[in-house]
Homo-oligomer: A and B are copies of this chain.
Amino acid sequence: MVKKVSIVGASGYTGGELLRWTLIHPEMEVCQITSERFAGQQAHKLNPNLRGFTKLEFTSVKNLSTDVDAVFLCTPHQKAAPYVSQFWEIGAKIIDLSADFRIHDKEVYAKYYGEHQNPGLLEKAVYGIPELHREEIKKAKLVACGGCLATSIILGLAPLVKNKLIRTDGIIADSKIGSSANGAAFDISTHHPERSGTVRSYKPHGHRHTAEIEQELSAISGGPVSVGMTPHAIEMVRGIMSTIHASLSGKTADVDVWKAYRSFYAGSPFVRLVKDQNTLYRYPEPKPVIGSNFADIGFELDQEKNRIIVMSTIDNLVKGSGGQAIQCFNLMFGLDEKTGLWQPGFHPM
């Protein structure tokens, strides 16, 4: 039976992308989309791609109905907690795309985001990368989808950490990211003449996603994992490419790395390993995954310097948020993980 869902905070890019995928999902009916600022306006005014797909209007959260099977929260961080409490009470499944329930440790949360509004629920939340927590997500009432940069970096590193192939200190993740990751709010930094064509290291260290990256990888490792993360805003609307530099923990051959990835991602249809020869696309690149829920992952060993270079790429708005949320929804409701998501990207794009 088709599930009824609502999207809270639907006027941003995450909400808009999620709305796109819900509208073509065969097992979902979107009942409400909320926005204070755009209440009363039709969804396609902000999402011109959806013209003809929905007559939904944004509604104020004051009119939020609880008569749903699931709710997606696309609020800014520090704003999701009240809705989580509200829907938790009535037993609806909650998929939170904000950062509020990603971090299990309230001290760590406080360091990056400020004091938590509802720490009691922190331990109920499952971190929403299905490739790491598939079985828990199936049983979860509250899923906290991973951050977009974090998703690309965690997926690139998890199999290596699990198989002890790399040293867990001194890992560097040098990420490149498109402008849509900033969201729909604008300022001088996103003004086209200033943003276009730039390579801007806007947060050379201390990015908030470090918290969830180190939390998840440390859990896999069984000990502390340290990742120095340096994202760069580059000329791109959608897409993340994380280039991850790590030292090998010992003598390692290509086949060892292959085995680690293959075994970790067996049963994970949205992770594709890319390491071809005789083709232009011998490593992952963002363009072929844009518009899709895939994470493409590849690597190269630099034996001379005893290091590995991992490339991990996703569409920040799909696998990095809206698509990941749908994938979690599917698992939470016992559907095939691929339902409504099994679409290739485009080439050339």
Report which A residues bind B (CB closer than 8 A): 13, 16-17, 20, 23-24, 45-53, 170, 172, 174, 176, 178-180, 182, 184, 186-201, 204-206, 226, 228, 230, 232, 234-239, 241, 243, 245, 247, 269, 272, 274, 276, 278-281, 283, 285-292, 294, 296, 300, 302, 304-305, 307, 309, 311, 313, 317, 342-349
Residues of the B chain whose Cβ atoms lie less than 8 Å from the Cβ of A182: 192-193
Q: Knowing A52-B269, A193-B179, A204-B300, say if A247 contacts B170 (CB, 8 Å).
A: yes
Are B313 and A237 neighbours in the complex by a CB distance under 8 Å?
A: no
Given the contacts A186-B191, A228-B307, A234 and B237 also touching, CB distance less than 8 Å? no
Contact assessment for B285 and A198 in the assembled complex, using a CB-CB cutoff below 8 Å: yes
Asked if A241 and B206 make an inter-chain contact with CB atoms under 8 angstroms apart, the answer reads: no
**Do residues B174 and A245 form an inter-chain contact, with CB atoms below 8 A?**
yes
Can you pick out 30 interface pairs between chain A and chain B where the beta carbons lie within 8 Å of each other?
Answer: A13-B193, A13-B348, A46-B279, A47-B347, A48-B281, A48-B287, A48-B296, A49-B347, A51-B272, A170-B170, A172-B172, A172-B174, A176-B176, A182-B192, A184-B191, A186-B191, A189-B280, A193-B237, A194-B280, A194-B348, A196-B237, A199-B286, A201-B241, A201-B300, A204-B300, A228-B305, A228-B309, A237-B348, A237-B349, A238-B349
**Complex: chain B residue closest to A344, CB-CB:** B49
Give the residue of B51, B232, B288, B311 whose beta carbon is less than 8 angstroms from that of A176. Answer: B232
Would you give the shortest CB distance from A33 to chain B, in whole angstroms?
A: 14
Contacts of A236 in B (CB 8 A): 197, 199, 235
Complex interface: chain B residues within 8 A of A286 (CB): 197-199
Q: With the chains together, A186 CA to B243 CA distance in Å?
A: 26
> Whose C-beta in chain B lies nearest to the C-beta of A174?
B174
Q: In the complex, are the beta carbons of A204 and B305 less than 8 A apart? A: no
CA distance A68 to B286 in the complex (A): 36
Whether A199 pairs with B304 at a CB distance below 8 angstroms is no
A184 to B307, CA, bound (A): 33
User: Do B235 and A346 touch (CB < 8 A)?
Assistant: no
For A280, A289, A307, the residue with the greatest tally of chain B CB atoms inside 10 Å of its CB is: A280
Residue on B with the closest CB to A181?
B193
Q: Which of A192, A228, A241, A311 is packed against the most chain B CB atoms within 10 Å?
A: A192
A245 with B245: CB separation less than 8 A: yes
Nearest-neighbor residue (CB-CB) of A242 within chain B: B199
The answer for the CA separation of A13 and B276 in the assembled complex, in Å, is 21
Instruction: Determine if A193 and B180 form an interchain contact, defined as CB atoms under 8 angstroms apart.
Output: yes
